[in-house]
Amino acid sequence: MEEITGRNSAAADPRRVIFHVDMDAFFVSVEELFDPSLKGKAVVVGGHRDERGVVSAASYAARKFGVHSAMPLRTAAKLCPDAIFVNGHPERYREYSGKAFEVLKKFSPKVEMASIDEAYLDMTGTERLHGPPLKAAHALHQFMKSETKLNCSIGIGTSRLIAKVCSDQAKPNGVLYIVPGQEASFLAPLSVRKIPGVGKVFEQKLNEIGIKKVGDLAKLDDAFLRERFGEWGLALAGKSRGLDAGGYFDRDVAVDEGPKSISHEHTFNTDTRDQEKLEAMIARLSEMVCRRVREHELHARTVQIKLRYSDFTTITRAHSLEQPTQLDTVVAETARTLFRDNWQRGRTIRLIGVHVAGFDDVPQQLDLLTQTHDDKVSKALSVVDRMRDKFGENAVSLATGLKSRFREKTHENPASLPGKSKKKE
DNA sequence: TCTGGGGTCCTAGGACCC
DNA sequence: TCTGGGGTCCTAGGACCC
């Protein structure tokens, strides 16, 4: 495993060759593979036209109507009434993401999947094997198409930031290489919004002081930047001048380290204040979360819930356990206590979520009795997980008997529950 | 047209320890 | 009696990304 230092002294090295590979309209393209009749049409992935939800991905044909991801589905339906709305299929996307990863690994041992449809490759020193950067990129591009039937765009530069911005400029289905030394002049004419990490809020703040282009940012005084925008603003300005400014975009390309948090949340079709319904959802979400915690062979220390009321005000409340856990019941009981202590009873809820973090590979040493008990429970749950894989989620009836016994156990151990002293809002 | 779900990273204050 | 910092953990919230 690579060590991540946060700062990489090689970042400004002109010999460094970083690829950013981004799949084009990934979700839509995968859906087209499963249903070729969708090809070339206005397609919206994310749900049905009258559902509560937003667009996950839109085909290029749909984008022409102004449809874009994160837009409410109902808005998309208004803008583009003839669009075909399809549900997303996360399993398919994971499958094709895996295929793409296999392709990338043939070009460099240093591949970092940055999300389901994009990756960084460290291609430094691969010239003898794959030729110069552009040649390697074209070979990769073709191989990706032949192996997965999917198009991608590739950005090449001396840092992750440059590679990432390049792949965006190369879209769709293109390759763009910024040769060493040209970084600052490449970035200068671009809108600050093109810099990953600069969103609506930061763009607005910059616009307020007359900064629209990356080049404008490069001219600002360091002390002013730091005072006004903190460390990140300073780093950003450094990058706009082609410097190694540290942080995420100058990190090494690292192999996958596993998740840092796992969560599930649910938005109700209609808002509710039915406590039974809400707590049943907490139990279900806790099971889904813990199942994935077990799949990764992790143990979580912090349990967090999220409540979103009808007026969209959102709170999160967390509690750290004495001992990391992967047990449904421990997470569910903790989440339920957090819920009962913090829900303003009577206020209708739109969304509820369960989130865990603070992972350990190995649970901390417990006293022998608890440990053997928890081991047994974990093993039993793994069996349940496998049965569900084989026979479907309705094999859960097996878990019900186990659960009532877990509950006794949790009650014996009230120290693992959140304190009651939590202040109410 | 009301605004998903899964994440990462950062900030900031308070507790607590040295 | 008052006054220090630094470091780390915990919690809450928010920006941002796909």
Digit-coded pLDDT (tens) for A137-166: 999 999 999 999 999 999 999 999 999 999
pLDDT for A381 equals 75
CA of A324 to C1' of C10 (A): 15
pLDDT for A393 equals 63
pLDDT for A391 equals 66
- Looking at domain A261-416, its CATH class is alpha beta
- pLDDT tens digit string along A10-69? 346 889 999 999 999 999 999 999 999 999 999 999 999 998 999 999 999 999 999 999
Whole-Å CA distances, A262 to A37, A354, A355? 36, 9, 6
Phi, psi (deg, nearest 5) at residue A276: -60, -45
Q: In chain C, which nucleotides are within 7 Å of a protein Cβ?
A: 9-18
Bond before A132 cis per omega within 30 degrees: no
Nucleotide with smallest C1' distance to residue A320 CA: C10
Pairwise CA distance, residues A418 & A425, whole Å: 17
Place of tokens 């380290």: A257
Return contacts of A52-59, CB within 8 angstroms, 24+ apart.
A52/A267, A52/A269, A53/A267, A56/A27, A56/A88, A57/A25, A57/A26, A57/A27, A57/A28, A57/A88, A58/A25, A58/A28, A58/A83, A59/A25, A59/A28
CATH architecture of the domain with range A26-89: 3-Layer(aba) Sandwich (3.40)
pLDDT for A164 equals 95
CA of A256 to C1' of B8 (A): 14
- Which two tokens mark A327? 């047990």
pLDDT for A371 equals 66
pLDDT for A10 equals 37
Catalytic residues of A: 118
pLDDT for A370 equals 65
Please name the residue whose C-alpha is nearest to the C1' of nucleotide C11: A318
Burial class (CB in 10 A: 0-12, 13-18, 19+), A76: buried
Pairwise CA distance, residues A60 & A66, whole Å: 10
Three-state SS at A320: strand
pLDDT for A16 equals 93
Name the percent of chain A lying above pLDDT 70.
86
Which residue positions in chain A have pLDDT lower than 50?
A: 1-11, 396-425
pLDDT for A223 equals 82
Which parts of the protein come within 7 Å of strand C, by CB position?
A: A 26, 69-70, 115-118, 196-203, 301-302, 304, 314-320, 358, 422
pLDDT for A2 equals 33
Establish whether the CB of A312 is closer than 7 Å to any nucleic acid atom in strand B.
yes
CA of A255 to C1' of B10 (A): 23
Pairwise CA distance, residues A191 & A214, whole Å: 6
Establish whether the CB of A320 is closer than 7 Å to any nucleic acid atom in strand B.
no
Tell me if A389 is assigned to a ligand binding site: no
> What are the domain boundaries of chain A?
26-89, 186-241, 261-416
CA of A29 to C1' of C17 (A): 20
Q: DSSP assignment of A194-211, as one string?
A: GSTT--HHHHHHHHHTT-
Burial class (CB in 10 A: 0-12, 13-18, 19+), A265: middle
A186-241 CATH fold: DNA polymerase; domain 1 (1.10.150)
Amino acid sitting at position A327: L
Q: DSSP assignment of A329-347, as one string?
A: HHHHHHHHHHHHHH--TT-
pLDDT for A221 equals 86
Burial class (CB in 10 A: 0-12, 13-18, 19+), A391: exposed
Tell me if A82 is assigned to a ligand binding site: no
- Which two tokens mark A390? 């084989």
pLDDT for A288 equals 97
Nucleotide with smallest C1' distance to residue A233 CA: B10
If you compute the radius of gyration of chain A from its CA atoms, what whole number of angstroms results? 24
